[in-house]
Amino acid sequence: MWKTPPRITYKLNTDGSALHNSRKIGGGGILRDDQGSIVYVFVVPLGEGTNNQAEVQAACFGLNRCIQHGYTNIILEVDSELLTKWLLQVAIPP
């Protein structure tokens, strides 16, 4: 269940998708404020690759867009367990 982020914070939810036959990948996301109001949404074709590449690229695209538009206090929420593990390894090295 989606929960609003803390006060003065934005939440970015992203997802990637891959078509196995064509290897075409794409992604999308939504940024909401601390009231749950939509700030923006995006859908983007990402070329060819795997589902994991789609997840990573969708998250990177969404975060870059946030930064470009001045949104810096961001919580990123994804449904990819692998991406979450990768991000935690970068944030909290062993």
- Domain assignment of residue 20, yes or no: yes
Q: Does residue 2 form part of some domain?
A: no
Q: Judge whether 4 lies within some domain.
A: no
CA distance 85 to 3: 21
pLDDT at 1: 85
Count the neighbouring beta carbons within 10 Å of the beta carbon of residue 18: 20
For residue 15, the domain's CATH number is 3.30.420.10
pLDDT band at 94 (very low <50, low <70, confident <90, very high): low
pTM of the model: 0.90
In a domain, 27, yes or no: yes
For the chain, the domain total comes to 1
Residue 81's domain comprises 10-91
Q: Record the tokens describing residue 24, joined without a space.
A: 């075409």
pLDDT of residue 91: 72
Q: Is position 26 within any domain?
A: yes
Query: What pLDDT, in 10s, does the model give residues 45-92?
Result: 999 999 999 999 999 999 999 999 999 999 999 999 999 888 888 777
State how far the Cα of 5 lies from the Cα of 35, in Å rounded to an integer: 8
